[in-house]
A and B are shown apart, each in its own frame.
Chain A
Amino acid sequence: MASLVLPEEARRAAEVIKQADIVIGIPSYNNERTIAHVVRAAYAGLAKYFPQLTAVVVNSDGGSTDATREAVISARVEDSHLLLLDTPLGGAHRLSFPYHGVPGKGSAFRLVFQLASTLGAKACAVVDSDLRSITPEWIDLLVRPVLFAGYDFVAPYYQRHKYDGTITNSIVYPLTRSLYGLSVRQPIGGEFGISARLVSRYLERDVWDTDVARYGIDIWMTTVAIAEGFRVCQSFLGAKLHDAKDPSSDLSAMLHQVVGSVFTLMQEYEPVWWEREGARPVEVFGFRFDVGLDPINVDVARMARAFERGCEELGEVWALALTPDTLARLRALGRGCRLGQPLHVDNELWTRVVYEFACAYRRQPISRGHLMRSLTPLYLARVASFVIETQQMGPAEVETEIENLCLAFEQQKPYLRTQWNGKSGGAPPVRPEREVVTP
């Protein structure tokens, strides 16, 4: 079990506060532009929806070099509890920047959870510090299901542009859903509500110094909640708008960190997902409404070129992860692409690619870093294919397409089991994709 020894700074603060019903955690790293708004929204939400309860807002900073701390202090509300803590980061943490831009986000969450546990909080919520669209209602929607409906884990449910969240839509959501049998639409959303019971469970786990905590804390929290049978629900938060990310962020590193975390968790929870079939819906709290979304420009030709190059150059790496049949189909697509044919990576092929990479990640025919980074051209091909097919579609139709992909993942699960055990033959016949009606 992870030790429950709080840093001195946090321990002194906890002694003063003594008890709190709600703890709101805000990890940060150089978020001076947005964090004041996030802190104000958190205070407003607590004051408006939970005036009768005691609450603490905790900013756990990963060593910001800008005016993040000053921004937090300026947003403080009188007579309220605000803790500004530094997340103790080791050298490795500082050097390994996770996809969210918060170094040591896992360490920050751990500190928030330790504090929540020490203060005896009944509910804890964590929100990203780069949010532009957060409102006081978000706090209510993340905390209320825990306090008054007995849920242990509240996942966010956003309205997003059809081309936003492509890693979530094409890999993380379908894979998590088919594995663990729950339709949590945004497994790596970044905003969560958590019960005291689940906080204790998180703290029991000895993962806080591993890569999962460093890079995949969001998917880890979601997976633990789903796989270990905690009560899970979703809250509709509207649109998620956040500060512009670092433009130099590397897509292949992002895939490595996020998808690699999902694959790592697959190994840990193998007995759980092996038995589960299908997927059941998860209750959604909150009033659903349509919001205007920022347009997203996509250069399909550039993605197709990346795939072509991958087909030409990465065959030797892919051959170590993919079955000959899958590889042949991808190469045929690459040849078609060169001849000017539109790129079409169908659901069944994409499912196989993801499953075969998951199995290769387990077998490790090559280093996992190389393996996951070599997935980038294939992922871009899938995104390009998705963009081409959904160009004329509205949000509801696009959601149906994503639902069809999820069904393909569920139908191909026997294939995953076969491949997982290292048996190459015996792939189940592919059934035609079921048409679904948008919920």
Chain B
Amino acid sequence: MTETFRRVLEDAISRLQSQVTTYLPPLLAAAIMLLGAWLLASALRWIVYRIFKGLTIDKFLRQSGLALMIDRSGRLRATRIVAESSYWGILLGGALMGLSVFNTDLTMQVAQGFVYLLPKLLASGAILLAGAWLSQFLGRSMLVWSVNEGLPHPRRLAALVRTVILFVAVVVVADQMNFARTVFLTAFVILFGGAVLCAVLAIALGAAGSVRRYLEEKREARESGERSLWSHL
């Protein structure tokens, strides 16, 4: 009985020792890598906050309306974006390196999957950013133009333009990421077709009066002498 208990205990200790000797060094290595990555990320973030002014990018963010879209206070700064991106990027890199130390099938799959996805993620991010910028720019163009032209519901028109462009960006991203490709594409085709149909019906039936009034006003303004005031410098 005592012998059995001793053997079981020795086996357990041996297994634990084996596991410790197998996993502790990589665990320590992973922890050190993660710590190193964290230190590097923090240092880089600190440096970026203090050195990188990002004036041009800040200006671009302001002008494009992206700053306002991402942060309603409009105080978003490129410095913060770059610093935080660097921080999280390095931290993620450190975590992946730490995982690869274990050299198991699972960790290798995770690391490889991430490396495979990274370019697509970056491309998708760029597409989304470009889409967001374009939607803001064209939405604002639509807003100002429709107010100056006296079109009904300028803000709704601007929101529509923004939504459509963002939706197109999302469809492209879904295609890029190979994620529910057909669902997004089909939804887009259905929505776009539906929107065109609605617009045609609205003009033909429901909004015929509004359109007629609008066109009448434009014609009257053109025919009256009032236009002469507008064309004299």
A73 within 8 A of B: no
Contact A252 B143 (CB under 8 A): no
- Of A21-29, A158-166, A329-337, the segment with at least 4 beta carbons within 8 Å of chain B is A158-166
B154 within 8 A of A: yes
A313 within 8 A of B: yes
The smallest C-beta distance from A184 to any residue of chain B, in angstroms, reads 14
Contact of A168 among B63, B65, B233 (CB under 8 A): B233
| In the complex, residue of chain A having the shortest beta-carbon distance to the beta carbon of B231 | A245
The smallest C-beta distance from A162 to any residue of chain B, in angstroms, reads 11
What is the interface size of chain A, counting residues whose CB is below 8 A from a CB of the partner? Answer: 45
The smallest C-beta distance from B162 to any residue of chain A, in angstroms, reads 13
Chain A residues numbered 243-261 whose CB sits less than 8 Å from any CB in chain B: 244-249, 251-252, 254, 258
B25 within 8 A of A: no
Contact B63 A367 (CB under 8 A): yes
Contact B155 A313 (CB under 8 A): yes
B148 within 8 A of A: yes
- Of B164-172, B187-195, B219-227, the segment with at least 4 beta carbons within 8 Å of chain A is B219-227
| In the complex, residue of chain B having the shortest beta-carbon distance to the beta carbon of A245 | B231
Given contacts A188-B233, A364-B63, contact A313 B148 (CB under 8 A): no
The CA of A165 and the CA of B63, in the complex, are separated in Å by: 32
- Of A85-93, A295-303, A430-438, the segment with at least 4 beta carbons within 8 Å of chain B is A295-303
Contact A298 B63 (CB under 8 A): no
A327 within 8 A of B: no
CB-defined contacts of B64 to chain A, threshold 8 Å: 367
The CA of A99 and the CA of B231, in the complex, are separated in Å by: 9
| In the complex, residue of chain A having the shortest beta-carbon distance to the beta carbon of B227 | A247
CB-defined contacts of A164 to chain B, threshold 8 Å: 228-229, 232
Contact of A299 among B62, B226, B231, B233 (CB under 8 A): B226
The CA of A374 and the CA of B221, in the complex, are separated in Å by: 21
The smallest C-beta distance from A51 to any residue of chain B, in angstroms, reads 34
The CA of A215 and the CA of B4, in the complex, are separated in Å by: 99
Contact of A370 among B62, B140, B154 (CB under 8 A): B140
Main secondary structure of the interface of B (DSSP, over half): helix
Contact A366 B229 (CB under 8 A): no
CB-defined contacts of A244 to chain B, threshold 8 Å: 228, 231
Given contacts A251-B148, A317-B143, A377-B148, contact A165 B224 (CB under 8 A): no
A40 within 8 A of B: no
Chain B residues numbered 198-233 whose CB sits less than 8 Å from any CB in chain A: 221-222, 224-233
B114 within 8 A of A: no
The CA of A366 and the CA of B225, in the complex, are separated in Å by: 35
Contact of B229 among A163, A313, A370 (CB under 8 A): A163
Chain B residues numbered 57-74 whose CB sits less than 8 Å from any CB in chain A: 59, 62-65
Contact A313 B147 (CB under 8 A): yes
CB-defined contacts of A167 to chain B, threshold 8 Å: 232-233
B89 within 8 A of A: no
Contact A297 B224 (CB under 8 A): yes
The smallest C-beta distance from A175 to any residue of chain B, in angstroms, reads 14
Contact A309 B150 (CB under 8 A): yes
CB-defined contacts of A172 to chain B, threshold 8 Å: 233
Contact B143 A314 (CB under 8 A): yes
Contact A314 B225 (CB under 8 A): no
Question: Which of B65, B144, B154: most chain A Cβ within 10 A?
Answer: B144
Contact B63 A366 (CB under 8 A): yes
The CA of A302 and the CA of B218, in the complex, are separated in Å by: 11
Contact A314 B144 (CB under 8 A): yes
What is the interface size of chain B, counting residues whose CB is below 8 A from a CB of the partner? Answer: 28
The smallest C-beta distance from B157 to any residue of chain A, in angstroms, reads 10
CB-defined contacts of A302 to chain B, threshold 8 Å: 221, 226
The CA of A160 and the CA of B147, in the complex, are separated in Å by: 30
A306 within 8 A of B: yes
Given contacts A297-B224, A365-B63, contact A373 B145 (CB under 8 A): yes
Contact of A314 among B62, B147, B230 (CB under 8 A): B147
| In the complex, residue of chain A having the shortest beta-carbon distance to the beta carbon of B157 | A313
CB-defined contacts of B230 to chain A, threshold 8 Å: 249, 251, 254
CB-defined contacts of B137 to chain A, threshold 8 Å: 367
The CA of A297 and the CA of B144, in the complex, are separated in Å by: 26
B141 within 8 A of A: yes
The smallest C-beta distance from A161 to any residue of chain B, in angstroms, reads 8
Contact of A296 among B62, B150, B155, B229 (CB under 8 A): B229
A376 within 8 A of B: yes
A310 within 8 A of B: yes
A383 within 8 A of B: yes
CB-defined contacts of B231 to chain A, threshold 8 Å: 244-247, 249, 254
The smallest C-beta distance from A189 to any residue of chain B, in angstroms, reads 9
CB-defined contacts of A247 to chain B, threshold 8 Å: 222, 227, 231
The CA of A168 and the CA of B231, in the complex, are separated in Å by: 12
Interface string of A304-319 (1 = CB under 8 A from B): 0110011001100100
Contact B62 A365 (CB under 8 A): yes
Contact of A298 among B59, B65, B147, B229 (CB under 8 A): B229
Contact A383 B144 (CB under 8 A): no
The CA of A247 and the CA of B231, in the complex, are separated in Å by: 8
The CA of A248 and the CA of B147, in the complex, are separated in Å by: 17
Chain B residues within 8 Å of A, Cβ to Cβ: 59, 62-65, 137, 140-141, 143-145, 147-148, 150, 154-155, 221-222, 224-233
A-B complex: 6 closest residue pairs judged by Cβ atoms: A297-B225, A245-B231, A299-B226, A313-B154, A252-B148, A164-B232
Contacts A165-B232, A251-B148 aside, 18 further interface pairs with beta carbons under 8 A come to A99-B233, A167-B232, A245-B232, A252-B144, A254-B233, A296-B225, A297-B226, A297-B229, A306-B148, A306-B150, A309-B154, A310-B147, A364-B59, A364-B62, A365-B62, A366-B65, A370-B140, A370-B144
9 contacts between A and B (CB under 8 A): A245-B232, A252-B148, A298-B226, A302-B221, A305-B150, A314-B144, A314-B147, A364-B62, A370-B140
Chain A residues within 8 Å of B, Cβ to Cβ: 99, 160, 163-168, 172, 188, 244-249, 251-252, 254, 258, 294-299, 302, 305-306, 309-310, 313-314, 317, 364-367, 369-370, 373-374, 376-377, 383
